[in-house]
Amino acid sequence: MLTIEGFKQALRNAQSEIEANKDILTDLDRAIGDGDHGINMSRGFEAVVAILDDDYATLGELSKKVGMTLMSKIGGAAGPLYGSAFVKAAPKFENAIEADFALVKEALAEASSAIKNRGKSEVGQKTMVDVWEPFLSDLQASDNFDAKLDELVKATEDMRATKGRASYFGENSRGTIDPGAMSSSIILKAILKEVE
Ligand SMILES: [Mg+2]
């Protein structure tokens, strides 16, 4: 079950993992982008942690507030993507004070399609969609979430980017993990850990 407290804990854990991996995210984005992903994600999740001391009546209310906060604080391409993910997941959690695995999966599927729609991207373009969509497509409660996510992140390394700033690097975009794929896996791991 994911409770409101559990969701808050997941976001706090995501923040500390992002902080711990800030330089790696920055280096990856420097290789195939503009080098701001670590800093942007760090700023966004620090702002999220700051709103967690407030009271929320439902998971939906919290998810919406998280999304609005990320949208205004992350900046770059990732801000609207992660922001809309949490905002669009919120209606699934609307009246819920806790969510079982099936409901969490439904909310994450909404988040995934929000990212796809906002980014106008498909699987195989070396973006965070390459984590979200395959991860959710056949997700079971019994899965080893971390191993599955690690595998999907690793798979972006050999891909050629055809979307976003990384696409300007053409063939040279191969050989670097997509930074958005990595930050996505950090967030998904943190949430699913609290559902278990
Ligand atoms: Mg960037």
**Measured in whole angstroms, how far is the alpha carbon of residue 172 from the centre of its chain?**
25
**What is the pLDDT at residue 7?**
98
**What is the pLDDT at residue 158?**
97
Written as one letter, the residue type at 34 is: D
Q: Find the mean pLDDT for residues 105-123.
A: 97
Distance 120 CA to ligand 1 centre (A): 17
Q: At a CB cut-off of 8 Å and minimum separation 6, what does 159 contact?
A: 124, 125, 126, 130, 173, 174, 178
**Helix axes of 4-20 and 179-195: crossing angle, nearest 10 degrees:** 150
Distance 77 CA to ligand 1 centre (A): 7
Distance 149 CA to ligand 1 centre (A): 21
Distance 133 CA to ligand 1 centre (A): 21
**Helix axes of 78-89 and 179-195: crossing angle, nearest 10 degrees:** 30
**What is the pLDDT at residue 164?**
86
pLDDT, one tens digit per residue, over 52-65 is: 999 999 999 999 99
Q: What percent of the chain has pLDDT over 70?
A: 100
Q: Does the pLDDT value for residue 196 go beyond 80?
A: no
Give the Cα-Cα-Cα angle 36, 42, 43 (nearest 5 degrees). Answer: 90
Average pLDDT over the chain reads 96
**What is the pLDDT at residue 165?**
87
Distance 57 CA to ligand 1 centre (A): 35
Q: Does the pLDDT value for residue 149 go beyond 80?
A: yes
Written as one letter, the residue type at 133 is: E
Distance 49 CA to ligand 1 centre (A): 22
Count of positions (residues) in the chain: 196
The neighbour count for residue 68, using CB atoms within 10 Å, is 15
Q: Is 196 helix (H, G, I), strand (E, B) or coil?
A: coil
Q: Find the mean pLDDT for residues 132-152.
A: 97
**What is the pLDDT at residue 21?**
98
pLDDT, one tens digit per residue, over 68-87 is: 999 999 988 899 999 999 99
Which residues are near ligand 1, the ion (C-beta closer than 5 Å)?
Answer: 29, 33-34, 36-37, 76
Distance 176 CA to ligand 1 centre (A): 14
Cα–Cα distance list, 18 to 12, 25, 131, 183, 185 (Å): 10, 8, 17, 7, 10
Written as one letter, the residue type at 86 is: F
pLDDT, one tens digit per residue, over 1-38 is: 999 999 999 999 999 999 999 999 999 999 999 999 99
